[in-house]
Structure 1
Amino acid sequence: MEDKILESIAYILPAVVTGTVAYYMFNGFIKQQNSEKKLELLAQKKKESLPIKLQAYERMILFCERINPVKMLIRIKPLSENTHEYLQLLIASIEQEFEHNLVQQIYISNDSWTAIVASKSAIMNKLKLVAESSKSANELRETVLIDYSKNLPPTETAISFIKNEVKKLL
């Protein structure tokens, strides 16, 4: 009887060892396959989202260019000599551009969005500040144009920040 038990163990032990080794090998293989599939899906997702992100960054650079005070004042002429009316027209133009591009914040980084909002606010505050001391719409235009010909507009800082973000993406 002992011989039969030892003989059974002699047959069962190699089968158990082989089964255990096969289990761990297949388990490791399956984990590796799952890991590779996850990486493939992640790469595919990035490949699909990159054009959308780049387009969002492009639109935000365009927004910054459109609210650049020098370019905006050349593009938007005063309807009358009233400083307050001209200021309202400029602010409405900035707000309209901003609202048109508001959804782009989904696709760009928080830091880029903060830089863009900060440049928008800085421009609007500067326009309001200059408007307080201006006697006419043309004087407002001249003062802002002279000031920003000497100093870098906040939009240039935001554009430079966006360009750095895009370089990181690529």
Structure 2
Amino acid sequence: MIDWPYFPYVFALLLAIPFLVFMRQFVFSYIKLKNKELKLLTVKGSAEQRVNAYERITLFLERLKPSNLVTKFDRNLAPHEFVFLIEKSITEEFDYNASQQLYISKATWKNVVSAKGNVLHLLRTTFEDLGANSTLDEFKTIFLMNYMNSEDFVARTIDELRKEHLIVN
């Protein structure tokens, strides 16, 4: 028998090499599968976020409709108090939903901003045209009539949002 001092080490190395190759392949395939899983989750998450953005912006636009605005707050308010509270409410909700612009097109976001601006403008001009002597019920009635006599920009924006959502999905 050959008395070679490195024989046990060579034998151990020959046994370890297949095990190390197997472990390397296992680790690389595991990493590849995890990367695929992360990509799927990222795509799924962004799709869910986009749907959530469409829902939140649609809800904001629905709340922006004058028919929904006139039902808010106490009936005993003066018109100037009502206008102030409505403007504050719209601005706060818009600020809350501003991050949703990341998930919708620039054109649609521009239309959402325009719809908000149009409602606020209509609110202010109605108040200025009526003056301080009107009652809240008169103000609400004239506000609704002015909206119905103008272009329905809120409904148009909701329709555009719906079309964009169908195209994207």
Shared fold, TM over 0.5: yes
The match for 1:53 is 50
1:69-119 superposed Cα distances (whole Å, 9 cap, x missing partner)? 111112334442x22211111111111111121111122211111010000
* 1:40-79 pair list within 5 angstroms: 45-79=42-76
**2:97 is the alignment partner of 1:116:** no
Pairwise CA distance, 1:164: 0.9
Alignment RMSD (CA, Å): 2.4
The match for 1:169 is 168
* 1:150-161 pair list within 5 angstroms: 150-161=149-160
Q: Say how many residue pairs are matched.
A: 132
The match for 1:131 is 127
Identity %: 28
2:54 is aligned with what amino acid? Y
Pairwise CA distance, 1:141: 0.2
| Structure having the larger proportion of residues in helix | 1
Runs of 4+ in 1 over 6 A off after TM superposition: 40-44
The match for 1:103 is 99
TM-score when normalising by structure 1:
0.68
* 1:72-91 pair list within 5 angstroms: 72-80=69-77, 82-91=78-87
Structure 1 residue ranges without an equivalent (≥5): 1-39
Structure 2 residue ranges without an equivalent (≥5): 1-36
1:62 is aligned with what amino acid? L
CA distance in 1, matches of 2:89, 2:102: 23
CA distance in 2, matches of 1:156, 1:169: 20
**1:70–1:152 Cα change, 3 Å:** farther
